[in-house]
């Protein structure tokens, strides 16, 4: 009992000591008890604490260590149970008899994560993610550079036939003869021996002028001439050329060594290397190696320097550090040559270029190593190439489809560790790499499939992985435990091909991806009727529901073999089908229901709702944001019969929207300008009223009147405005802010004259017009009167100033002459000279009414001359020609039979005749084609020829810019005059004018000029009168082809009554007599005709469906 009590007391003492040690450890203090000084257990040894703290800091751990020394001797090898059974003679003096050490490790408290540390961690993670993405992109870019290098270099070798000719001249004739019949492995080995003896390594440097292909090819020619090579690339290129000269299908192979995908510690360390170390390193090829070593040594030097406790020790440490750095630098300089020579030898022993050729007999690719002379030994290439071999790209010389030069990855053939996880980690994502090489895939698919089978068999012949970890993501094998949630083995009775540690091994080809029914619909496939799910897994719960109320869900998965192509639902009773959310899945174009069309136009739903047309939003995909999946809705699905209506409505809607947006932008700009100007005026007034010269010098625009003796202020502190103190100007200086009596009187006189002119304008112009047109007086009258008032006011001001100067008459004459010249300027683009017209007239208002595109005008007043119903004096009847054209001429000109012609006239417009649709439907496109490809070419002259002299192929090159063309006597648009001489018109145009004038009985017409106008959808023809011809008694004949135009016919004055009527494709308008000199215009083109002709070029049909062409035949001079 006594011994038991002693042991308990000893345990209590130890526990108290441990508790005390733990308490001191939380304060980052080490407690030590030794034989020499027992009191140090309470006070602590500062030096031991410092050393122990450094030790903990170096280990970077959260654990704390407490070292306790006692006077008693305790065997370190004794177990805990034996220690408990020992009886101590003097338990109270236990500390004095223990000279051993007891170490206790206590886990420190977990640091509390603050908000600042959380944000720091988040930022660090985002930065690291961007760094990793940048490194992967650099890796991909390096691979693309390798591909570009191979393609450019191989193309240069193939295209320069001089190189193959030079190589062929070196090859013995026996090899040339043997290669024509069969170039098997045996012949290839003998050929390789000759090749290695023919070309020798040289230390002579063949330097090219630059890195371009031509310079490199010139260097290669020199190498062939010298029968030498410098590196493995030269040797492989020479062998490639020799095989090309023997007419063999050849490949150039390259083992790529791109930069790594992951940032290593060495890379990170090199980024943070101290600058003073970099400055002490010479620029040589091995600087990076020595820079790393120097960094490590200097780091060790710094750690040793920390041991210095006083100032004298610090100085000694600094001296030692400098000596060590100098010593290391000396070692770098002494060993630089030795390392350079060693690296050169290592580079010489490695090669990354070699060649393959296609063995026709065995139907496989044979590798040839020009560096060591091996043939058909792929395993030897990896041993002598740069480690590690993880990318091997080859390019052939195939000439399928214009030098295709197919490329592919053949790493599986040469890399022994291709299936290992080590190589897979070095390679980029397989999907990106496959898609990249797919662009350069060879067109010889049969040979490619044979090679795939061969490489696959080679991979299968290799032993299986020996550990379970190596099967993870293995390209050939998979363990049953590694099958993912959405994967399954198919068929179900697939037998395992092996076992490892009791786990079945299956081929990777038997693993298939499974999807739910909705995901299969995204791929335009649907689950077959009656199919049972191949696998049922736990589905995702709804994250918007509270976790306590969430219900577990199950998801049924199906395989590809359980699906079939998606069959879209059918339209029932004119209603488009939709899902439970009111949308329609259109992931692919084949998912659109029959009889419907998918319009990808934004805002179509609201427009269709206004027009009461059935319209269903189309879901084309999904995107993840704000913590959930959201559908991507693009356009709508509508019935095909509503497509044209909705397109036109959408176009009109967005034109209005665009006009409104521009209007808002303009109003906003004007508002900002008003605000700016008002602010500047206010600032100017305040400065003029309160600013004194003593405070700040006034700007030039602020000085109303400056005295000669005025001195500008130079105080910089007074330049700031507004001032805190304002001084009112003296009464003596107040007049300088006002006008002089002379200027004031001049302004008063001008204001009185302006008022008088304005009163006269209102009394003589506005009131009579108001009485005459009470209901039709638009707002433009007010604008016109204001403009006239402003002009008159300016004229009055000029006249007044001229009176003061004494030359009022001269200025008035000049002003009136200039005004008259401006008024007579013709802005007509229709070919006729016209007098000046007021800015507002009945013709102009009508023209602007039909010209508007922002609002569709009312076309109810437009006459249809083809209608048999008489309205507004229109008479449409069967045409009875005075002189009927012959059948030969009718066929040549494309006329319909004369018996089918109809003629329309307007009772109150004698001299205007409309021949309705007198051309055959086929000839419409023929005339359009002739106008674009014949009449727009020389000797015809076009608007394009004004900017591009000697232009050819006008329609193909400048089709959208083509506006007019002239034939015969070319009309001068600047002077409005026809020349006296010119080319003759095409024969068909002269014949057409003569035939129509005789058929109408209006006398003979000899056309010698023609103007062809090309109208786009928004083109117009301004009001004008055709009066430039020297013989005005001859008629004008206009042919119309393409889309419909609205034609306005007025009178000899712009305020005469106007008739508007349609001119359609195939119509001919003839004007003569009283209607020859009337105002006319074309304000609008209406697209209402659809041409279809497979015999005509597609661009002609497209042009006819969007544009209009008008051919006007004229007789300029009298002909005998």
Is-contact 360 248, C-beta < 8 A?
Answer: no
Q: How many CA atoms lie within 13 A of 551 on its CB side?
A: 2
Percent above pLDDT 90 for the chain: 39
Q: What is the mean pLDDT of residues 51-72?
A: 40
How far is Cα 1100 from Cα 932, in angstroms, rounded to an integer?
9
- Residue 607 CB: number of other CB atoms within 10 A? 19
Instruction: Return the higher-pLDDT residue of 80 and 956.
Output: 956
Looking at the predicted structure, is the pLDDT value of residue 89 above 80? no
Four-point Cα dihedral 159, 162, 163, 166, nearest 10: 160
DSSP characters over 58-94: HHT-SEEEEEEE-SB---TT--HHHHHHPPPS-GGGT
Closest alpha carbon to 831 in 689, 727, 701, 975 = 975
Looking at the predicted structure, is the pLDDT value of residue 740 above 80? no
- Quickly state the pLDDT bin for 256 (edges 50, 70, 90): very high
* Least confident interval from 710-724, 925-939, 1045-1059: 710-724
* Least confident interval from 477-491, 671-685, 1088-1102: 1088-1102
Q: What is the mean pLDDT of residues 530-535?
A: 93
Predicted confidence at residue 974, as pLDDT, reads: 82
Q: What are phi and psi of 477, to 5 degrees?
A: -125, 160
- Quickly state the pLDDT bin for 763 (edges 50, 70, 90): low
Residue that has been written with the tokens 């500008």 in this structure: 712
- Quickly state the pLDDT bin for 23 (edges 50, 70, 90): low
Looking at the predicted structure, is the pLDDT value of residue 35 above 80? no
Strands 228-229 and 250-255 turn out to be unpaired
- Quickly state the pLDDT bin for 338 (edges 50, 70, 90): very low
* Least confident interval from 208-222, 751-765, 949-963: 751-765
Looking at the predicted structure, is the pLDDT value of residue 832 above 80? no
Residues 6+ apart with CB under 8 A from 1091: 924, 925, 1101, 1104, 1105
Predicted confidence at residue 267, as pLDDT, reads: 52
How far is Cα 186 from Cα 202, in angstroms, rounded to an integer?
29
Predicted confidence at residue 949, as pLDDT, reads: 78
Closest alpha carbon to 475 in 541, 544, 423 = 423
Instruction: Kindly list the distances between the CA atom of residue 547 and the CA atoms of 542, 543, 544, 554, in Å, as whole numbers in the listed order.
Output: 9, 8, 9, 17
Q: What are phi and psi of 216, to 5 degrees?
A: -65, -40
Burial class (CB in 10 A: 0-12, 13-18, 19+), 1077: middle
H or E stretch at 564: strand 563-565
* DSSP-derived 3-state class of residue 117: helix
Predicted confidence at residue 700, as pLDDT, reads: 47
Top mean pLDDT of 738-742, 817-821, 1034-1038 is at 1034-1038
Predicted confidence at residue 840, as pLDDT, reads: 74
How far is Cα 1053 from Cα 1051, in angstroms, rounded to an integer?
5
Strands 616-625 and 563-565 turn out to be unpaired
- The model's pLDDT over 480-531, given as tens digits with 9 standing for 90+, comes to 999 999 999 999 899 999 999 999 999 999 999 999 999 999 999 999 999 9
Residues 6+ apart with CB under 8 A from 846: 1048, 1058, 1060, 1083
Looking at the predicted structure, is the pLDDT value of residue 639 above 90? yes
Q: What is the mean pLDDT of residues 262-277?
A: 50
Q: What is the mean pLDDT of residues 963-986?
A: 89
Is-contact 49 30, C-beta < 8 A?
Answer: yes
Any bridge partners for residue 366, and if so which? Answer: 357
Closest alpha carbon to 428 in 131, 127, 137, 151 = 137
How far is Cα 1001 from Cα 911, in angstroms, rounded to an integer?
12
Looking at the predicted structure, is the pLDDT value of residue 1011 above 60? yes
H or E stretch at 902: strand 902-906
- Quickly state the pLDDT bin for 1043 (edges 50, 70, 90): very high
Overall CATH class of domain 576-659:
alpha beta
Looking at the predicted structure, is the pLDDT value of residue 141 above 80? yes
- Quickly state the pLDDT bin for 47 (edges 50, 70, 90): very low
Predicted confidence at residue 71, as pLDDT, reads: 39
* Least confident interval from 498-507, 765-774, 902-911: 765-774
Q: What is the mean pLDDT of residues 841-867?
A: 86
Length of the chain measured in residues: 1120
- The model's pLDDT over 287-316, given as tens digits with 9 standing for 90+, comes to 444 444 444 444 443 333 334 334 444 344
Instruction: Return the higher-pLDDT residue of 313 and 202.
Output: 202
How far is Cα 252 from Cα 234, in angstroms, rounded to an integer?
12
Is-contact 673 695, C-beta < 8 A?
Answer: no
Predicted confidence at residue 886, as pLDDT, reads: 84
Instruction: Return the higher-pLDDT residue of 738 and 717.
Output: 738
Top mean pLDDT of 118-122, 309-313, 743-747, 948-952 is at 118-122
Closest alpha carbon to 1059 in 1040, 1079, 1077 = 1079
pTM above 0.85, yes or no: no
- Quickly state the pLDDT bin for 730 (edges 50, 70, 90): very low
Superfamily of domain 842-1114: Alpha-ketoglutarate-dependent dioxygenase AlkB-like (2.60.120.590)
* Least confident interval from 50-59, 263-272, 580-589, 1093-1102: 50-59
Looking at the predicted structure, is the pLDDT value of residue 914 above 80? yes
Tokens of 1101: 């049909």
Closest alpha carbon to 469 in 495, 496, 501 = 501
How far is Cα 267 from Cα 566, in angstroms, rounded to an integer?
52
Looking at the predicted structure, is the pLDDT value of residue 334 above 60? no
Is-contact 66 31, C-beta < 8 A?
Answer: yes
- Quickly state the pLDDT bin for 868 (edges 50, 70, 90): low
Looking at the predicted structure, is the pLDDT value of residue 3 above 70? no
How far is Cα 913 from Cα 901, in angstroms, rounded to an integer?
13
The b-or-e profile of 164-180 (16+ CB within 10 A means b, else e) is bebbeebbeeebeebbe
Looking at the predicted structure, is the pLDDT value of residue 825 above 60? no
Four-point Cα dihedral 488, 490, 492, 498, nearest 10: -90
- Quickly state the pLDDT bin for 834 (edges 50, 70, 90): very low
Is-contact 607 650, C-beta < 8 A?
Answer: yes
107 Ramachandran zone, left/alpha/beta (phi>0; psi -120 to 50): beta
Looking at the predicted structure, is the pLDDT value of residue 547 above 50? yes
- Residue 337 CB: number of other CB atoms within 10 A? 10
Residue that has been written with the tokens 């490809």 in this structure: 933
Q: What is the pLDDT of the chain when averaged over all its residues?
A: 77
- Residue 433 CB: number of other CB atoms within 10 A? 15
How far is Cα 614 from Cα 980, in angstroms, rounded to an integer?
65
Residue that has been written with the tokens 């103190």 in this structure: 725
Predicted confidence at residue 871, as pLDDT, reads: 63
Predicted confidence at residue 487, as pLDDT, reads: 94
Q: What are phi and psi of 378, to 5 degrees?
A: -65, -25
Is-contact 912 906, C-beta < 8 A?
Answer: yes
Strands 941-942 and 1080-1086 turn out to be unpaired
Overall CATH class of domain 132-259+350-462:
alpha beta
DSSP characters over 626-640: TTEEEEEEEEEEEEG
- Quickly state the pLDDT bin for 659 (edges 50, 70, 90): very high
């Amino acid at each position: 009992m006594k011994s038991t009590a002693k042991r308990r007391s000893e345990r209590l003492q130890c526990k108290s000591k441990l508790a005390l040690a733990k308490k001191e450890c939380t304060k980052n203090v080490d407690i030590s008890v030794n034989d020499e000084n027992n009191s140090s257990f309470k006070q602590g040894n500062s030096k031991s604490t410092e050393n122990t703290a450094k030790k903990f800091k170096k280990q970077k751990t959260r654990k704390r260590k407490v070292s306790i020394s006692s006077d008693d001797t305790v065997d370190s090898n004794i177990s805990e149970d034996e220690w408990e059974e020992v009886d101590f003679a003097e338990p109270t003096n236990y500390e004095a008899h223990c000279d051993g050490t007891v170490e206790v490790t206590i886990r420190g408290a977990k640091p509390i994560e603050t908000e600042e540390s959380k944000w720091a961690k988040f930022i660090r993670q985002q930065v690291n993610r961007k760094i990793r993405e940048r490194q992967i992109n650099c890796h991909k870019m390096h691979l693309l550079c390798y591909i570009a290098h191979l393609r450019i270099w191989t193309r240069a070798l193939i295209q320069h036939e001089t190189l193959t000719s030079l190589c062929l001249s070196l090859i013995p004739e026996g090899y040339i003869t043997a290669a024509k019949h069969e170039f098997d492995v045996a012949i290839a080995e003998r050929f390789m021996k000759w090749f290695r003896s023919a070309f020798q390594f040289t230390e002579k440097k063949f330097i090219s002028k630059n890195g371009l292909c031509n310079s490199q090819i010139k260097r290669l020619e020199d190498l062939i001439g010298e029968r030498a090579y410098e590196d493995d690339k030269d040797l492989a290129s020479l062998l490639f050329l020799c095989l090309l000269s023997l007419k063999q299908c050849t490949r150039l192979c390259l083992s790529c060594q791109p930069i790594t995908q992951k940032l290593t510690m060495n890379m990170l360390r090199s980024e943070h290397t101290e600058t003073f170390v970099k400055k002490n390193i010479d620029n040589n090829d091995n600087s990076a190696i020595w820079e790393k070593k120097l960094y490590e040594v200097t780091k060790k030097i710094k750690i040793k320097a920390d041991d210095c406790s006083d100032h004298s020790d610090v100085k000694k440490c600094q001296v030692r550090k400098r000596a060590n750095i100098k010593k290391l630098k000396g070692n770098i300089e002494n060993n630089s040559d030795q390392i350079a020579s060693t690296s050169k030898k290592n580079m010489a022993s490695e090669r990354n270029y070699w060649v393959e050729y296609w063995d026709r007999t065995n139907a496989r690719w044979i590798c040839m190593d020009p560096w060591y002379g091996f043939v058909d030994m792929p395993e030897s290439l990896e041993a002598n190439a740069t480690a590690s071999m993880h990318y091997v790209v080859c390019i052939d010389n195939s000439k399928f489809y214009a030098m295709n030069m197919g490329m592919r990855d053949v790493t599986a053939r040469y890399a022994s560790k291709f299936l290992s996880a080590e190589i897979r980690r070095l390679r980029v994502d397989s999907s990106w790499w496959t898609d990249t090489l797919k662009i350069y895939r060879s067109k010889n698919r049969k040979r490619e499939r044979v090679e795939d089978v061969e490489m696959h068999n080679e991979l299968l012949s290799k032993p299986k992985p020996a550990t379970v970890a190596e099967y993870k993501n293995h390209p050939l094998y998979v363990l049953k435990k590694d099958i993912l949630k959405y994967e399954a083995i198919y068929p179900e009775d697939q037998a395992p091909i092996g076992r490892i540690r009791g786990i079945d091994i299956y081929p990777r080809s038997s693993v298939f991806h499974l999807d739910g029914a909705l995901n299969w619909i995204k791929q335009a496939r649907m689950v077959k009727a009656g199919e049972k799910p191949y696998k049922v897994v736990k589905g995702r719960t709804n994250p918007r529901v509270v976790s306590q109320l969430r219900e577990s869900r199950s998801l049924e998965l199906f395989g590809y073999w359980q699906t079939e192509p998606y069959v879209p639902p059918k339209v029932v009773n004119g209603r488009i089908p939709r899902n439970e959310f009111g949308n329609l899945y259109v992931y692919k174009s084949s998912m659109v229901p029959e009889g419907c069309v998918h319009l990808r136009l934004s805002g179509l739903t609201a427009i269709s709702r206004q027009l009461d047309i059935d319209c269903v939003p189309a879901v084309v995909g999904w995107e993840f944001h704000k913590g959930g999946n959201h559908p991507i809705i693009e356009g709508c699905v509508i019935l095909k019969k509503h497509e044209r209506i909705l397109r036109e409505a959408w176009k009109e809607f967005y034109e209005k929207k665009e006009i409104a947006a521009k209007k808002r932008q303009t109003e906003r700009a004007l508002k900002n300008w008003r605000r700016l100007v008002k602010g500047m005026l206010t600032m100017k007034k305040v400065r003029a009223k309160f600013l004194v010269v003593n405070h700040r010098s006034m700007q030039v625009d602020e000085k109303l009147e400056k005295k000669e003796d005025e001195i500008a202020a130079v105080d910089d502190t007074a330049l700031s405005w507004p001032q805190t103190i304002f001084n009112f100007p003296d009464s003596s200086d107040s007049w300088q802010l006002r006008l002089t009596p002379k200027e004031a009187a001049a302004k008063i006189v001008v204001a009185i004259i302006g008022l008088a002119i304005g009163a006269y304008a209102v009394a003589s112009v506005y009131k009579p017009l108001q009485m005459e047109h009470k209901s039709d007086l638009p707002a433009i009258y007010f604008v016109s009167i204001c403009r006239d008032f402003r002009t008159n006011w300016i004229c009055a001001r000029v006249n007044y100033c001229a009176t003061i100067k004494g030359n009022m008459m001269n200025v008035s004459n000049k002003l009136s002459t200039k005004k008259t010249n401006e008024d007579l300027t013709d802005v007509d683009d229709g070919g006729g000279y016209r007098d000046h017209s007021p800015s507002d007239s009945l013709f102009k208002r009508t023209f602007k009414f039909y010209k508007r595109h922002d609002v569709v005008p009312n076309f109810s007043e437009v006459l249809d001359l083809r209608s048999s119903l008489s309205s507004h004096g229109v008479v449409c009847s069967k045409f009875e020609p005075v002189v009927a054209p012959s059948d030969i001429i009718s066929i040549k000109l494309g006329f319909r039979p004369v018996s089918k012609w109809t003629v329309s006239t307007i009772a109150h417009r004698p001299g205007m005749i409309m021949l309705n649709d007198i051309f055959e439907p086929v000839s419409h496109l023929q005339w359009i084609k002739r106008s674009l490809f014949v009449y727009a070419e020389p000797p015809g002259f076009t608007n394009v020829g004004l900017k591009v002299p000697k232009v050819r192929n006008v329609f193909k090159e400048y089709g959208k810019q083509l506006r007019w063309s002239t034939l015969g006597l070319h009309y001068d648009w600047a002077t409005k005059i026809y020349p006296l001489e010119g080319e003759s018109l095409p024969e068909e145009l002269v014949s057409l004018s003569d035939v129509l004038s005789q058929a109408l009985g209006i006398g003979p017409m000899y056309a010698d000029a023609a103007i062809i106008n090309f109208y786009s959808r928004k083109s117009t023809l301004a009001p004008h009168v055709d009066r430039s011809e020297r013989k005005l008694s001859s008629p004008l004949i206009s042919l119309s082809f393409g889309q419909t135009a609205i034609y306005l016919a007025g009178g000899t004055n712009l305020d005469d009554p106007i008739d508007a009527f349609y001119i359609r494709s195939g119509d001919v308008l003839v004007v003569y007599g009283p209607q020859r000199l009337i105002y006319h215009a074309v304000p609008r083109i209406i697209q209402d005709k659809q041409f279809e002709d497979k015999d005509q070029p597609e661009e002609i049909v497209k042009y006819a469906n969007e544009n209009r062409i008008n051919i006007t035949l004229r007789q300029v001079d009298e002909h005998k």
